[in-house]
Amino acid sequence: MTAPENLQEIPEDQTKTEDIVKTKDGLLIMQRILKTTDITLKKLNNGAMIVGEKKRETRTVSLAFAFKVGSINENEKNNGISHFIEHALFKGTNNRSSYDIKEPIERVGGTLNAYTGRISTVYFAQVPYTHAQNTIEILYDMVRNPSFSEHEISTEKKVILEEIAESYDDPVDLIYNKTLLKIWDKHYGKPVLGTTESVSTLNHISLSNYYNAHYTSNRLIFAVAGNYNNDFLEKAEALLQSFPQARELPAPIAGSMKTIKEPIVERKKDLKQVHLLLSIKAPSRKDKDFEAFKIFNVLLGSGMSSILFHNIREKHGMVYSIGSEYIAYENFGTLFIYASTTPNNLQKLMDLLKIELKRIVNAGITNEEFRYGKERLKGKLMMATEGTLPILSRQLDSVMTLGVAESTDDHIARIDKQDFVNTNEVIRNYLTSHWNTSLLVPETFELSFDANFNIY
């Protein structure tokens, strides 16, 4: 469908809402009807996209300017520059000081924040819906007209270097960063924060050049969720028209995961525990097995009722922290299992993990376990719809990765379609492949056994 002049509209007609309607006898009832306006997905001629999900009953609105740029777009020399720009944009614009960006939003009880990842950088705010118009103007000014003051950049560089130093001190951050450098390709494996060496070389000129190259309309998604009207979307469209359009976007960067034959062992002073991180290939974001594997992940390591928590911590007292994490990008995915324990318990811990995973492969998860994973996944999704920020995050993820906007009901339907037998087959196919083993150990720790973790 082609919209007037500068707008191409992608229709969304599957969003359900509940409206009050009056019957012939005058009774008021709740009726589920289709509303084509509840989810909006539009693409402007300059390549910018707008996604919105209305939630009329709330008194808040969340909005974000998201750019398809992150650490995968960096090289070894400028690693960390995407994150640095995220910091720099809070330091003032050509029209507003840093205080003038934050104060009007926080004055009304709102929040303003941002994050940088491997594939995106997102600037977002949540405010009472009556302050949406002023907030979008502030966010727009922040991302469109940064001052990149040399003095502010010099000061903020010190802050970021402290942030990097703090991540080196955090055992969990450290083992993940060391592992990803080895198992993910050179684009995805780099640390989002950068390194002390790379960040130290960044300056006003490098930040400005990188910003001009990547903060273009072709990479921009504006997202809004909550209580807003069509006038607000029209205002957003007008603002997005001012972003320059890149002549040509580079080819998408496809990531990949490697298998490492020998355990990755890092040593650190003053550690009391051994930190274990296991990793294995998993379905990509676009893979047909993505939802089935999400069900398995929440069953395996999410919450106190999960397999890992109940059978490793509760039954054996081997750990305090244990869990699983499933990270999926467009072209690849990875399942992680993390745990920490005292050095003397490491071999026993790994043996127990092998027993649990072998049981799952050999016998499969039970029908009750499958239902648990399904219901927990759906429940967490439904609970997230109570807040406008989680809705915003879900829509951004869907548009950023898949190019579509999706209602909560449609997402739940995809989970419901997952089959017990197929899910077990998916689990078996992935768990029997090669596992990578990473260990962060005290400086004097001696590994006295074969730490290769393969259940077959």
220-226/49-54 β-pairing: parallel
Angle between helices 98-107 and 132-144 (to 10 degrees): 160
pLDDT at residue 249 in the model? 72
Structural domain 7-240, CATH architecture: 2-Layer Sandwich (3.30)
Residues of the chain with pLDDT under 50: 1-37
Domain ranges within the chain, ordered by starting residue:
7-240, 264-442
Task: Put residue 303 in one of left, alpha, beta given phi > 0 → left and psi -120 to 50 → alpha.
Answer: left
Indicate which residues carry an active-site annotation: 86
pLDDT at residue 2 in the model? 27
Structure tokens at 316: 């054996």
Domain 264-442 in the same topology as domain 7-240:
yes
CA distances from 220 to 125, 193, 234, 246 (A): 16, 22, 16, 11
Q: Please, which residues have CB within 8 angstroms of residue 230's CB and are 6 or more apart in sequence? A: 37
Burial of 453 (0-12, 13-18, 19+ CB in 10 A): buried
pLDDT at residue 220 in the model? 98
Multiple choice CATH, 264-442, 3.40.50.920, 3.40.50.970, 3.30.830.10, 3.40.50.80: 3.30.830.10
pLDDT at residue 252 in the model? 77
pLDDT at residue 152 in the model? 94
The pTM of the full predicted model, rounded to 2 decimals, is 0.89
pLDDT at residue 248 in the model? 73
For 61-74, the three-class secondary structure string (H helix, E strand, C coil) is EEEEEEECCCHHHC
